[in-house]
Amino acid sequence: MRTAYRTGDARVLRDVAAIGAAMLAVGASFGAVAVAAGLPVWATLAMSAFVYAGGAQFMAVGLVVAGNPLAAVLAGLLLNARHLPFGLALGGALGTRRAQRLLGSHLMTDEATAFALARPAGPQRRRAFWLAGVLLFLAWNAGTALGVLAGGAAGDPAALGLDAAFPAGLAALLLPSLRDRETRRVALLGAGLAVLATPLLPAGLPVLLALAALALPLLARRRPPAVSPGPPAVSPGPPAVSPGPPAAPPGPPAASAGRSGVPSGPDAAPGGGPVTVPDAAADGRSVRAGEASC
């Protein structure tokens, strides 16, 4: 386990070294610019130690020299408002105690946040954040001290192309996080909003406007899924016919005559002999013959 931690720490140190070199140079430029603008040495060093805001410090120097310190404070708050979602994303990486979280919030920068989020959640992310945060903080303040001592020898970092090191480093750190399709959509939409709003809005607002891209996955989740049409509904058939009254019980079996004309069944004579049926016509003739003889 210790070997894995040491390997991960070595990778973080190696990656932080490139960003730290650029931060050292830009910090030296800030120290030189602040002293040249008339800011006291102690105020320059204190700003890097307690404000630690990079671009907001450069803006504050110009506003303070122009006699508008309140605008400098508001500009710093506006530029650093992006740290609110940073803190939500880092979560437990800042620590569990209040003192740890306060110190971690002060060390939170774009680069330190990117270093931490590139690692899995848990101890690795926490160690990456604190290593990057502490080392970059030391690099910035050491650069400021060098700039104060060197005066104007540090020059403008934009002339050396050092100002491009920060966005390039951030892009390199964020590339592994763009493997997810939904994350790529949100990142591209946020970048597009920031680029379009930069010429129109004051500094700091385009970055906050880019946070509106976070609503994209929320809208996608609220959209009801498309329902595929199923088979047509089967119409109900005719109502079932109610059964009629029960059939009458069968009566006694009818007498049936066999081949010899002898009935079978209950009408058969005892012994199975033939049954004599009286002839009504013969009886009528006998009556008329008797009447004639009288």
Helix, strand, coil shares, percent, the chain, to 5: 70, 0, 30
Which residue, 84, 74, 57, is CA-closest to 141?
57
Tell me the HSE value of 7 on the side-chain side, using a 13 A CA sphere. 4
Residue 232 has a pLDDT of 55
Q: What pLDDT does residue 288 have?
A: 46
pLDDT of residue 93: 85
Kindly state the DSSP code that residue 50 receives in the 8-state scheme: I
The pTM for the full model equals 0.58
- Dist CA 192 CA 231 (whole Å): 44
Is residue 249 exposed (0-12), middle (13-18) or buried (19+ Cβ within 10 Å)? exposed
Chunked in runs of 10, what are the mean pLDDT values of the chain (294 residues)? 57 82 86 86 93 83 76 75 82 85 90 85 88 93 91 60 59 66 81 85 71 70 57 56 58 50 48 48 48 45
pLDDT of 177: 65
How far apart are alpha carbons 131 and 104 in whole angstroms?
11
pLDDT for position 224: 58
Give the ranges where 175-278 is alpha helix by DSSP (H): 181-197, 205-210, 215-222
